[in-house]
C-alpha cells in the first residue's frame, strides 16, 4: 500500500519497504517482478538495486502504472511495465522473453492514490461515482452490485467478503434506498442502518466487500498463488504483503503447503509486521502482514 497526497501530487509511503527488500534479497544481475507497481515505491527501490538485472513492473490499474513509470523514471532502462492482473503474469513473462525470475513481490493493499481520488469510487470519505474498478475498462461497478443484487445475495457478499456481522440489516437498508449511485450516499445509508461501534466508519467493511467483489481480488489472489511457483528459479524469493485476514489466510496456507511438500523454505515462520515507528508515521500500515519464502 502506498500513501498519496492526491492525484496531482502523489507522495509515496511504501509499507514494509525495508523488510520487503530484505526478504526479496535483490541481486544486481537478477530478474524480478513487482506484481503491484502501484505508484512505484517498491518498483523504484528494487530497480535502484539492479545493474545488469531487470524488473517487470505490473499493475491492473493503468492510471497507477503510468504514475509508477514517472516515479521510477531514473531507472527506466532496468524496468519493463505491463498492464494486467495477477493472472496475466505468464503473458507478461512471455512478452519480454523471461523464462523464470529470481523474485516476486506482491503488495495487496489499495494505494492512497486510489482511495483519495473521489472519481474512482473507492473511498467512503470522498463523494464520487460508485465505481471501485481497478481496471476501469472492464467489469461491473460497485453501483451495479448495490442496485441489482437481490437482498440476500448482497447480504451474503457483505458478510463473507467484508466479515460484517450486521450484513442483513445493511443489505435491507441498501435495497430500500435504491437507486444508490455515489459513495457518499452509500456511506450515509449504511451509517443510518447500523450504529458506529468504534473508530472505523460503519460502512468500512461494506465498502471493502464491494471492492473485493468488483475486482475479483480473492480469485486473482488464488490464481497468483498457483502461477508464481512455476515462474521462480531455484532459490528465488517470493514476498507477499496482505492487509486483510481473508487474504493472509490464503497466503499462509499456500506457503505452508509448499514448504510441507518440500518445494520451498519458509523465510517467515512468524508473520512480519510494521515497526511501531512506521505505524506512527503511517497509520495505514498497521494491518500489514508480510510473508516470504524461498523456492527450492
In tens, the pLDDT along 5-42 reads 333 444 457 899 999 999 999 999 999 999 999 889 99
Tens-place pLDDT, residues 73-116: 999 999 999 999 999 999 999 999 999 999 999 999 886 666 66
Per-residue pLDDT, 113: 66
- Tell me, yes or no, whether 24 and 44 share the same domain: yes
Amino acid 126: pLDDT: 82
Residue 125 domain flag = no
Residue 283 has a pLDDT of 85
CB 225 within 8 A of CB 250: yes
- Residues 154, 174: contact at Cβ < 8 Å? yes
- Strands of 79-83's sheet, edge to edge? 79-83, 54-59, 31-34, 101-107, 232-242, 289-295, 264-266
* Percent with pLDDT over 70 in the chain: 94
Statement to judge: residues 35 and 106 lie in one domain? yes
d(CA 2, CA 295): 27
Q: Is residue 8 part of a domain?
A: no
Does residue 279 sit in the same domain as residue 290?
yes
For residues 159 and 283, state if they share a domain: no
Full-model pTM = 0.92
Task: Give me the domain span that covers residue 166.
Answer: 136-214
CA 9 from centre of chain: 21
Which of 214, 249, 265 is the C-terminal boundary of a domain? 214
Q: Are 49 and 28 in contact (CB under 8 A)?
A: yes
- Closest to 86 in 3D by CA, of 238, 206, 233: 238
Compute the chain's Rg from CA coordinates: 19
User: Could you tell me which residues are beta bridge partners of residue 165?
Assistant: none
Q: What is the pLDDT of residue 114?
A: 67
* Predicted confidence (pLDDT) per residue in 258-289, tens digit: 999 999 999 999 999 999 999 899 887 899 99
Q: Is 9 a member of any domain?
A: no
Taking the mean position of all CA atoms in its chain, how far away is CA 147? Answer: 25
Does 271 lie in the same domain as 200?
Answer: no
Q: Per the domain annotation, does 253 fall within a domain?
A: yes
Identify the CATH number of the domain in which residue 97 sits.
3.40.50.150
pLDDT score, position 115: 66
Q: Do the Cβ atoms of 206 and 161 come closer than 8 Å? A: no
CA distance linking residue 161 with residue 43, whole number of Å? 29
Q: Which of these three, 169, 189, 214, is where a domain ends?
A: 214
User: 228: closest CA among 217, 242, 238?
Assistant: 238
pLDDT, one tens digit per residue, over 151-207 is: 999 999 999 999 999 999 999 999 999 999 999 999 999 999 998 888 889 999 999
Domain count along the chain: 2
Same domain as 196, residue 55:
no
Mean of the pLDDT values across residues 287-294? 97
DSSP assigned state of 38: T
β-bridge partners, 103:
32, 237
Amino acid at each position: 500500500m502506498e500513501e498519496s497526497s492526491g492525484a496531482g501530487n502523489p507522495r509515496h509511503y511504501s509499507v514494509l519497504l525495508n523488510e520487503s527488500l530484505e526478504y526479496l534479497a535483490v541481486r544486481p544481475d537478477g530478474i524480478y517482478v513487482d506484481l503491484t507497481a502501484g505508484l512505484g515505491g517498491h518498483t523504484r527501490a528494487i530497480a535502484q538495486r539492479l545493474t545488469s538485472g531487470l524488473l517487470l513492473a505490473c499493475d491492473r490499474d493503468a492510471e497507477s502504472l503510468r504514475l509508477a513509470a514517472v516515479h521510477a523514471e531514473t531507472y527506466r532502462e532496468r524496468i519493463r511495465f505491463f498492464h494486467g492482473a495477477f493472472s496475466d503474469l505468464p503473458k507478461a513473462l512471455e512478452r519480454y522473453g523471461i523464462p523464470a525470475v529470481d523474485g516476486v513481490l506482491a503488495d495487496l493493499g489499495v494505494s492512497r492514490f486510489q482511495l483519495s481520488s473521489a472519481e474512482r469510487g473507492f473511498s467512503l470519505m470522498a463523494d464520487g461515482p460508485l465505481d471501485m474498478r481497478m481496471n476501469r475498462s472492464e467489469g461491473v461497478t460497485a453501483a451495479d452490485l448495490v442496485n441489482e443484487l437481490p437482498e440476500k445475495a448482497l447480504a451474503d457478499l457483505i458478510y463473507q467478503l467484508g466479515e460484517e456481522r450486521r450484513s442483513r440489516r445493511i443489505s435491507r437498508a441498501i435495497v430500500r434506498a435504491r437507486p444508490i449511485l455515489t459513495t457518499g450516499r452509500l456511506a450515509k445509508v449504511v451509517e443510518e442502518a447500523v450504529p458506529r461501534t468504534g473508530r472505523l466508519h460503519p460502512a468500512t467493511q461494506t465498502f471493502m466487500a464491494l471492492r473485493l467483489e468488483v475486482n475479483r481480488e480473492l480469485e486473482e489472489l488464488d490464481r497468483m498463488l498457483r502461477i508464481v511457483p512455476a515462474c521462480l528459479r531455484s532459490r528465488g524469493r517470493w514476498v507477499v504483503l496482505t492487509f486483510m485476514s481473508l487474504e493472509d489466510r490464503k497466503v499462509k496456507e499456500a506457503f505452508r503447503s509448499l514448504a510441507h511438500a518440500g518445494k520451498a523454505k519458509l523465510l517467515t515462520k512468524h508473520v512480519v509486521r510494521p515497526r511501531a515507528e512506521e505505524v506512527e508515521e503511517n497509520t495505514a500500515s498497521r494491518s500489514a502482514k508480510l510473508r516470504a519464502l524461498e523456492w527450492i
